[in-house]
Structure 1
Amino acid sequence: MQVALVSRSLAPFGGGGIGEYVDTTARILSGAGHDVTIFTTEGHRAAYDELRAGGDPDRLLAPAAEYVFVRDAAWPEGFYTPLHRYSSAVFDAIVDRYPGGGPDLIEVSDYLGEGFVLAQARATHDPRVADSLLAVRLHTTAELCAVLDGHHDTAEFSNQVDDELERFALRHADLLLWPGGDVLGLYERFYGAERLAPAVQIRNPLLLGDGLPDDTDTVDRAGPLKLLYIGRLERRKGVQNLLRAVTALGDPAWRLTLLGGDTETAPLGGSMRSQLELMAAEDERIEFLDHVPRAQLGDVISRHDVVVLPSLWECWPYVALEAMRRNRPVLATPTGGFTELVRPGVNGWFTADTTAEALSDAIAQLLADREAARRPRREGGPRDTVLSLAHPDEVVERYATLHEERRPRPLRRARAARPAPLVSVVIPYYGMSEFIEDTVRSVVAQTYPEVETLIVNDGSFGEADRILEELAVRYPLTVLSQPNAGLGAARNFGVAQARGRYVLPLDADNMIAPAFIERCVDVLESDRRLAYVTSWSRYVDERGEPTDELSTGYQPLGNETELIVRDNVAGDAAAVIRHRIFDLGFAYSQDLTSYEDWHFYLELHRAGHHGLVIPERLLDYRVRRDSMIREIGLPQTARLVAEINAHVLEKEIAWTPRNV
């Protein structure tokens, strides 16, 4: 089985639990004979090369896996955010690595939406990943982290975009992988069960190395109870509650070590460590450790009695598994993966809830009954449960079963089974004599067999406009004319005359790639719920040559996101749209002087009609010096947005009483 593991986080280069998971999964799958490739950021390349040049790289790297380093641009380069750009680079890297078609399984982390463009490609039947199963592994999204860290800034557009990258991948992947406990339950409550892909449980593996250490006879029957916290000093980890808990204890017979780096998740974005040090008030029983080498973490755990995990919510943390591997019980909050990882009295204990008071009560109970605190370690419960929770052989078997039972969704070619439905291309025309033939030629060159072409002359009757008569003779098209009424009215008039099941509005200076209609219809025919399908575009100049004057092109997200209220993330007007959408009363505004397409997609969004975007440049968008977007749209964006919002609300309100 060919497996692609995609993650910016990767041990030993950093990334905490996600990095540890990817490295471990790569090791066990490649060790079982599978062809594993890790796709990670090029920011790790220098460290990787240094390890490879060292004496024993296999000790720190998955020896049988291949590594691909993905370009990580600091600027979005025409994409909405750097992470949006990176998700595209990930897709490109996978296509380059597997030129004959994608791997059997592509697994991406939910964190930071690395799988967004891959999810777009799978949802729109991209042939380059047609044979791949796209799985999103639940770790903890950046959106969940922001909420639990007490600062979720949705006022910033880029932050909202990155949240939507994660949400789209969670919804449109082939499946989700979750480790156990209440992890999937939390995602269903937070995101909505109906907005998540089907889920399959596969636990996170743990490398057992040379076996499990046995120190059941080394219980310290005297002295203070030694507590250990491992993890970032971060609000969502509940570490501030832990400090509140121990400083409120009446029994002084305890010691607490906090091992982890600082974060700016204290109130007002301040240093969490500084806040914790103030709370500790130089108490000699509390020790802060900045960092220990990865290889020495086990020794630190072995010097303590209990590992405390006070998280406000936690997925399936490796620190809990490593503590149990070292035969140390854990005291954890009843959240996420802990609800399955922790077996009270066997390998640890639960607090009553996530509050400081509950933590303090639980620790006080351990101090009051030291025999109960020693029992799990003496009886070997933590060590024994690791085998049932994270045995690598079981995980490998589950992946093999996944490959056999969850084949990729086939590309459903409805046209092969029944006649192809007619697509009506509507081209509004006004003074575009220089470019209209390029547009018509692109329509005539379509690989899709059933197309009718309607040019709507919006009152443009100069000498140069006689080209329409010539085109009607040389190409299979119909020219319709109306008094000048504007772009929106011209589109609506053409739609009203269109006979096709689908309608494609196409501006008279733009061009579509030969496969544009075929690709869009294929997706629409496979999912009757979709209202439209469009694609990425490439910016070209007046000669039709690629230009990066504005950026390389337009990479829309689709209109199912709330971002459509703030920007036209839905797509260009050139989209294959179901005719029934217009039959339902949706139309292009005849009042707006620009952004008619944005207004149209926004109305669809508010009515629950959504579309998809093919992440491939199948549309050439001509950037002209005198284009409407340059002369009206961009200079008047704020005004036009206000007009769009007013028009949407105006249409949704009944302005006259029903009984009149």
Structure 2
Amino acid sequence: MAASSRICIVSPGDALGARVAAATRRQAEVLGDRHEVTLIEDPEPSEAISSFSFASEDHRRSAAVLEAIEAAYQPDRPPHYLEVCDFRAPGLVALQARAAGHELLRGTTIGVRATASAELLALYDGSPELGGEERAAELEREQLRLADRLLWPGGDVLDRYQRHYADLALPPAVRAGCPPPPPEPARALPPAPPAGPLRILCLGALNRRSGVIDLVEACLALPEDEWELTLVGADTETAPLGQSMQMTIEMICGGDPRVRIIEPAADEELHARFGEHDLLAVPSIFEVCSHLALEAMRAGLPVLTTPVGAHVEAVEPGVSGWLCEDVGAAAIGRALTPLVGDPEAVARVRSSKGLAEVVRRAADPKAMLDAYDEMLGEAHAPTSSRAAVQPTQVTAVVPYYRAHLYVAEAVGSLLAQTHTELDVVLVDDGSFAPEDGVLDELAADPRVRVVHQRNRGDTIARNLGITLAEGDYLLMFDADNVLEPEFVARALELLQTDPELAYVTCWLRYIDPGGEALNGGGYAPLGNRVLSSEEENWDGDTAALTSRRWLERLRFPFHPRATIHSDWDLYRRLREVGGYGAVIPEPLARYRIQPQSILRSHDRALHRRSWAEMRSWRRLERAG
């Protein structure tokens, strides 16, 4: 048995339904028999980040997860293993933080449990392009890319994930099993009536992926009339063309009294529902694990299921239920026909003692513990100290125009970096007022070089600074912002560790002209690998450390015609040549919001127009 480990499990809460949340709690209880387990449920973002701008609420929640992990552990006792679900990427910020050298997570193995990603759920419900699911899918993919392990429960789940994410290098897979269902009820199911129709129960939301329409059509096409179907679940608008599933089913049934739809049952009513029926049908088109199916079998109700999800491993034909040969109405009908014709066969299984034993074997806590022990034994690594940054010159490029009130603070923050091999090229973009004499004062420091050009805009000034810079790594910075002392060293470590990285940026904290924090919070970028959207910039701010060799792959670093979005355009052009950025998810830079700043002085229409022009120029460049 592996040594006891500190395990942190992040619950999906009720986002995937109360049963998935309950299964996560049972998983934590099982692992707690051998390990020190911390369960994080429904963390709320702190006031410090609640006002930040995030790419989505999923992105914000993942930041709250990192805060909860930081609150639960001490630096001298970090988690050995962290597990999150794939649904809506709750572990994304924690994974970004670990990649950026977070002291608490540096030695932590991070696994993603397959519970059903939002991308897959939307796909099987017929709405991959509706309701903002594209962004959730992109966050989920980045979480999978950064993770160390993919945990799957069994059945066809891994094969389905590998086929769907064939374009993504999934992390190594670990078969971890399903958590056991709740304890078996104290009372047995009442015996089935000696005669009468086969009473079929289907539980769960009425959605497309559940296959409920296939089940209804299969029942209506049965050659025998001796059946009843009860659907217990909330309606959804996932029928074709976004229509109500309940209304669609009612239209298909045409008032057939054998089919009834009732409101979802409370948990305390669930056993009563089991007792009123002979068979639970699970006709899913897509499923990871039907916890309801395991509960039904544990209670003594046999299951008819399509060959989808991990729960099928608990279905032994004629012992605990029956397995359809495929999904769809035809396959379900073929499986139902002999059962409707011979209800006594169903009654024999229903009254047998074998169902609970089959579930016990399929969801064996010891098997889950052994799987985690093996994984932790392979992946467990001691927390390492931060890698030493190799000596290298960094040049900060700072365009200047009428920023005399702030430039000394900006340059001072650059010269105060913990990475001391740093010089500054200040490019005066035609600002020659008396107060701009502050540049001469700054040039007295041998680490600061001031050059002048006529007023041509900050993009031309940045390109001139890059041409004059001597460092292998270039820090882009604005003359009115402030950089925290450790940014360059942290970013340089990432770039030296992964030479394929093109740039490293960080979160920003907004400040007012006087340097005080603004209620508007800050900006939490994602890097240029994650989102495909051309509507908003989540690639990063200008404040970034960039590898010179990546900039040299471009015709010019900053587009000379750019006005508002030169940084975003740079990151998009880097992406086109395979250069991706990483984010340190900490506010290591302070962004000063001026009354005349781009954020305040340009309306949304002008922003959209500017970015549309940048996209057009990129297309023209690609066309030659």
Same fold (TM over 0.5): yes
Distance 1:146 1:291, change over 3 A: same
Match of 1:6 among 6, 10, 15: 10
- Aligned equivalent of 1:167: 141
- Does structure 2 conserve the Cα–Cα contact (< 8 Å) formed by 1:108 and 1:136? yes
Are the structure 2 counterparts of residues 519 and 438 from structure 1 closer, same or farther at C-alpha, using a change threshold of 3 Å?
same
Pairwise CA distance, 1:170? 1.9
Q: Which residue of 2 aligns with 1:310?
A: 283
What SS does the aligned partner of 1:113 have? coil
Name the counterpart of 1:17.
19
Q: Secondary structure at the match of 2:388?
A: helix
Taking the aligned partners of 1:274 and 1:72, their CA distance within structure 2 comes to 44
Residue 239 of structure 1, CA deviation: 0.8
- Cα gap change, 1:607 to 1:14, in 2 (>3 Å): closer
Provide Cα deviations, 1:469-503, integer angstroms capped at 9, x if missing partner.
21121362222333333211221222222232221
Structure 2 counterpart of 1:526, one-letter code:
T
SS, match of residue 313 in structure 1: coil
Residue among 105, 129, 132 paired with 2:81: 105
1:355 alignment partner in structure 2: 328
Name the SS for the 1:531 alignment partner.
strand
Deviation, 1:298, is 3.6
Residue correspondences, number:
618
Letter paired with 1:230: L
Counterpart contact for 2:200–2:277, Cα < 8 Å: yes
Contact 1:412–1:522 at 8 Å: present in 2 too? Answer: no
- Measured in 1, the distance between the counterparts of 2:210 and 2:226 equals 24
- Tell me, yes or no, if structure 1 residue 256 matches structure 2 residue 229: yes
**Structure 1 residue 230, shift from structure 2 partner:** 1.5
Residue of structure 2 equivalent to 1:187 = 161
Q: 1:181 to 1:256 in 2, by over 3 A?
A: same
In structure 1, the residue matched to 2:152 is 178
Identity %: 36
Asked if the contact 1:103/1:132 (under 8 Å) is kept, the reply is yes
Task: Give the drift of 1:596.
Answer: 0.3
- Normalising to structure 2: TM-score of the pair? 0.91
SS in 2 for 1:424: strand
Task: Give the one of 555, 570, 578 matched to 2:539.
Answer: 570
Contact 1:307 1:323 in 2 (8 A): yes
- Describe the superposition over 1:579-627 as per-residue Cα deviations: whole angstroms up to 9, x where unpaired: 1111212511001111101111111223332111111000111111222
**One-letter code aligned to 1:251:** E
Once residues 518 and 169 of structure 2 are traced to their aligned partners in structure 1, the CA distance between those partners, rounded to angstroms, is: 38
The AA in structure 2 aligned to 1:15 is G
Describe the shift of the 1:409–1:648 C-alpha distance in structure 2 as closer, same or farther (beyond 3 A). Answer: farther
Q: Is 1:7–1:114's contact at 8 Å kept on the other side of the alignment?
A: no
Query: Are residues 37 and 518 of structure 1, via their aligned partners in 2, closer, same or farther at CA, if it must alter by over 3 Å?
Result: same
TM-aligned CA distance change 1:440 to 1:634, over 3 Å: farther
Which residue in the other structure is 2:41 paired with? 40
Shift of 1:516: 0.5
Q: Partners in 1 of 2:260 and 2:603 — Cα distance?
A: 60
Give the Cα separation in 1 of the matches to 2:439 and 2:38.
Answer: 54
Query: For structure 1, which segment, 191-200 or 70-79, has the greater mean C-alpha deviation from structure 2 after superposition?
Result: 70-79
| Structure 2 counterparts to residues 379-390 of structure 1, below 5 A | 381-390=354-363
For the residue of structure 1 that corresponds to 2:399, the secondary structure is strand
| Cα distance in 2 for residues equivalent to 1:309 and 1:470 | 76
Q: Which residues in structure 2 correspond to 1:620-631 (within 5 Å)?
A: 620-631=590-601
Considering Cα pairs closer than 8 Å and 6+ residues apart, tell me whether 1 or 2 has the greater RCO: 2
Which residue identity does 1:491 align to in structure 2? R
Report matched runs for 1:395-474 at 5 Å: 395-407=368-380, 413-415=386-388, 419-474=390-445
Paired residue type of 1:384: E
Give the CA deviation at 1:69. 6.2
**In 1, Cα distance between equivalents of 2:382 and 2:536:** 32
Q: What CA distance in whole angstroms lies between the structure 2 residues aligned with 1:226 and 1:211? A: 21
Conserved? CA contact 1:94–1:102, under 8 Å: no
SS in 1 for 2:447: coil
Per-residue deviation, residues 412-454 of structure 1 (Å, max 9, x unmatched): 74436xx322222111222222211111111111111322222
Partner of 1:87: 62
Aligned to 1:528, the other structure's residue is in SS state coil
Alpha-carbon distance in 2 for matches of 1:643, 1:270: 39
Deviation at 1:507, TM superposition (A): 1.0
CA RMSD of aligned residues (A): 3.0
Q: Alpha carbons of 1:567 and 1:361: their partners in 2 closer, same or farther (altered >3 Å)? A: same
Alpha-carbon shift at residue 389 of structure 1 (Å): 1.7
Cα distance in 2, alignment partners of residues 306 and 71 from structure 1 = 47
Structure-2 separation of matches of 1:83 and 1:391: 33
Given the superposition, is the C-alpha separation of residues 260 and 639 from structure 1 closer, same or farther in structure 2, using an over 3 Å criterion?
A: same
1:614 aligns with 2:584: yes
Distance 1:384 1:70, change over 3 A: farther
**Letter aligned with residue 411 of structure 2:** V
Q: Say if 1:513 and 1:618, in contact at 8 Å, map to a contact too.
A: yes
Following superposition of structure 1 onto structure 2, how do residues 121-520 of structure 1 map, counting pairs within 5 Å?
A: 121-154=97-130, 158-192=132-166, 194-207=168-181, 209=183, 222-337=195-310, 340-368=313-341, 373=346, 381-407=354-380, 413-415=386-388, 419-474=390-445, 476-520=447-491
Secondary structure of the structure 2 residue equivalent to 1:153: coil
Q: Return the offset for 1:538.
A: 0.4
CA contact (8 A) 1:261 1:291 kept: yes
Please give the secondary structure, in 2, of the residue aligned with 1:460.
coil
**Cα distance, 1:409–1:563 mapped onto 2, change above 3 Å:** farther
Contact 2:23 2:179 in 1 (8 A): yes
For structure 2, the residue ranges without an aligned partner over 5 or more in a row are none
SS of 2:215's equivalent?
Answer: helix
**1:412, 1:607 → 2: CA distance?**
33
Distance in 2 (CA, whole Å) between partners of 1:172 and 1:411 is: 19
Give the C-alpha shift of residue 514 in structure 1: 0.6
